[in-house]
């Protein structure tokens, strides 16, 4: 039996302002966010003795140590799962602090995704994309929109999922972003705006695709006992896990391309946390594309495969609905820091400090990551 349940807590969170355009380096953005998270936890930089750095980013642990003046650093790791890395890092950090290998582990993530290298260049440098680089990039599949669009198209053909349902996701994220003064896209949009936005990789229109942005986020993970004595109310990590889809190196060869790695991890993680989907008060779901939210809601067990499109209708995933989702605006409308902004938002929701976008009485929440060619990660957290 997995014994990680409630052995670690998120004790600090921090973010920079998100922008589209910056003079700051990814390291500078990472340091700003890290400092904010460390101070939020009531710590100073030398207190950090472990780091889970972003495997797909430009910043390594040594860069932070040099700036932090850490003298007795004990644990360094990466969780190379693309956009699933940040949530996977929570599991990694929990293992380190619950075993006493480290005391306070920092998960930092800063990127100049708007001002620096764009997505098509970034994926070409990732080893997880080696196979598709040889066989699929030369035929014209050069970015995630083009890799994932056939998953969405097949879902539409098999289950009748519609572009109107994709729009429902985009509109909901935008409404939430309007309540967040650190979100980049706050102007309300309509279904007509969604349908009029230019086609990128059918069925994905521009408003089905996440933002490219500059900025940083960071969280501190500490042992659960230590956390009771720190600056913030501890947010316990009750369940964590990762899952890889069948044929993880190529979507093309996957027996069922509508089923993600998350589908394997979710049952394990709900069991570890001792809760069911009905217990989740707020969800932060990795939203690189609108369709990806619909597919993950199915793979998490909130509804059956094929029913995700209907699930997002009628305000169910909006504030005031049964499952408020991406209350910060998500990657679609807040900013893209590879989903660590989703972790920060869930912690703030469970602390009850999100103001106009606060989910009343939020006690148990869930965050997911989605990366590479369908890798999944999930964490369930609760207020102590």
Partner 1 sequence: MTQRDRDTPLPVPTAESRPYWNGLRAHRLVLQRCAACKRPRHYPRPMCAACFSLDHEWFAASEQGLVHSWTVCHHAFHRGFRSETPYVLLTVDLTDGVRMVAPLVEADASRLSIGLPVVLDYQDVNEEITMPRFRIHERDE
Say whether residue 186 binds partner 1 (CB under 8 A). no
Q: Could you tell me the smallest distance in angstroms from the CB atom of residue 221 to partner 1?
A: 35
Assess 373 for contact with partner 1 (CB under 8 A). Answer: no
Nearer to partner 1, 69 or 255 (CB): 255
Contacting residue, 60, 77, 137, 310, with partner 1 by CB under 8 A: 137
Nearer to partner 1, 227 or 295 (CB): 295
**Using CB under 8 A, which of 60, 117, 131, 275 touches partner 1?**
131
By rule CB under 8 A, what count of residues binds partner 1? 34
Residue closer to partner 1 (CB basis): 78 or 258: 258
d(CA 42, CA 292): 36
Task: Please tell me the total number of residues recorded for the chain in this structure.
Answer: 384
62 vs 127 by CB, closer to partner 1? 127
158 counts as binding partner 1 under rule CB under 8 A = yes
- Kind of pairing between the strands at 282-284 and 364-371: parallel
Distance of CA 209 to the CA centre of its chain: 15
Element (H, E) at 100: none
Return the number of other C-beta atoms located less than 10 Å from residue 246's C-beta.
13
Rounded to the nearest whole angstrom, what is the least distance from the CB of residue 156 to partner 1 in the complex?
9
Kindly state the smallest distance separating residue 161's Cβ from partner 1, in Å.
Answer: 13
For 16, residues 6+ apart whose C-beta sits below 8 A from its C-beta are 29, 32, 33, 36, 110, 215, 216, 217
- Provide, rounded to whole angstroms, the least separation between the CB of residue 160 and partner 1: 13
Q: Which of 66, 99, 253, 276 binds partner 1 (CB under 8 A)?
A: 253
Displacement of CA 167 from its chain's centroid (Å): 20
Phi/psi at 217 (nearest 5 deg)? -140, 160
Binding region for partner 1 (CB under 8 A) out of 31-39, 95-103, 143-151, 340-348:
143-151
Q: Which stretch binds partner 1 (CB under 8 A): 141-149, 187-195, 231-239, 263-271?
A: 141-149
Q: Which of residues 338-357 bind partner 1 (CB under 8 A)?
A: none
Coil, helix or strand at residue 326: coil
**Residue 277 Cβ vs partner 1, minimum distance, rounded to whole Å:** 28
Cβ atoms 338, 109 nearer than 8 A? yes
Is 58 a binding residue for partner 1 by CB under 8 A? The answer is: no
138: contact with partner 1 by CB under 8 A: yes
Residue 120 near partner 1 by CB under 8 A: yes
Q: What is the closest distance, in whole angstroms, from the C-beta atom of residue 197 to partner 1 in the complex? A: 11
Are the C-beta atoms of 184 and 18 separated by less than 8 Å? Answer: yes
HEC profile of 5-73: CCCEEEEEEEECCCECCCCCCHHHHHHHHHHHHHHHCCCCHHHCCEEEECCCCCCCHHHHHHHHCCCCC
> Is residue 135 part of the contact set for partner 1 (CB under 8 A)?
yes
146 binds partner 1 (CB under 8 A): yes
* DSSP states along 223-254: EHHHHTTSSS--EEEEEEEEE--SSTT-GGG-
> Which are the contacts of 213, defined by CB distance < 8 A and separation ≥ 6?
18, 19, 20, 113, 114, 184, 335, 336, 337
Report the nearest approach of partner 1 to the CB of residue 202 (Å).
4
Residue owning tokens 């027996």:
255
One character per residue 189-228, x = contact with partner 1 (rule: CB under 8 A): ---------xxxxxx-------------------------
User: What token pair was written down for 102?
Assistant: 């480290």
Q: Which residues bind partner 1 (CB under 8 A)?
A: 119-120, 131, 133-143, 145-146, 149-151, 153-154, 157-158, 198-203, 249-250, 252-253, 257
């Amino acid at each position: 039996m997995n014994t990680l349940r409630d052995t670690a807590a998120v004790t600090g969170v921090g973010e920079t302002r998100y922008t589209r355009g910056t003079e700051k380096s990814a390291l500078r953005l990472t340091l700003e966010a890290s400092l904010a998270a460390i101070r939020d936890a009531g710590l100073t930089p030398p207190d950090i003795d472990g780091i889970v750095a972003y495997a797909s980013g430009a910043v390594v642990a040594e860069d932070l140590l040099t700036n932090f003046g850490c003298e007795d650093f004990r644990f360094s790791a990466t969780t190379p799962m693309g956009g699933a890395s940040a949530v996977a890092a929570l599991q990694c950090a929990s293992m380190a602090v619950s075993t006493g290998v480290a005391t306070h582990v920092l998960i930092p993530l800063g990127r100049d995704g708007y001002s620096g290298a764009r997505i098509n260049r970034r994926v070409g440098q990732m080893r997880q994309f080696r196979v598709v680089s040889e066989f699929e990039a030369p035929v014209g599949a050069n970015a995630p929109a083009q890799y994932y669009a056939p998953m969405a198209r097949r879902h539409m053909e098999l289950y009748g999922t519609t572009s109107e349902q994709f729009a429902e996701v985009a509109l909901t994220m935008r409404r939430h972003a309007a309540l967040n003064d650190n979100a980049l896209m706050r102007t309300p949009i309509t279904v007509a705006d969604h349908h009029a936005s230019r086609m990128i990789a059918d069925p994905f229109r521009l408003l089905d695709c996440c933002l490219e942005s500059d900025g940083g986020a960071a969280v501190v993970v500490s042992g659960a006992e230590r956390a009771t004595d720190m600056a913030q109310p501890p947010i316990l990590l009750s369940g964590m896990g990762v899952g890889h889809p069948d044929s993880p190196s190529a979507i093309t060869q996957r027996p069922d391309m509508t089923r993600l790695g998350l589908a394997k991890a979710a049952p394990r993680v709900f069991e570890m946390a001792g809760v069911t989907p009905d217990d989740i008060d707020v969800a932060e779901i990795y939203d690189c594309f609108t369709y990806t939210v619909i597919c993950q809601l199915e793979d998490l067990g909130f509804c059956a495969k094929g029913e995700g499109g209907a699930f997002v209708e009628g305000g169910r995933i909006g504030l005031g609905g049964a499952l408020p989702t991406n209350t910060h605006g998500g990657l679609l409308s807040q900013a893209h820091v590879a989903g660590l902004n989703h972790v920060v938002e869930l912690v703030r929701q469970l602390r009850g400090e999100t103001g106009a976008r606060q989910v009343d009485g939020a006690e148990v929440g869930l965050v997911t990551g989605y990366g590479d060619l369908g890798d999944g990660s999930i964490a369930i957290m609760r207020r102590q």
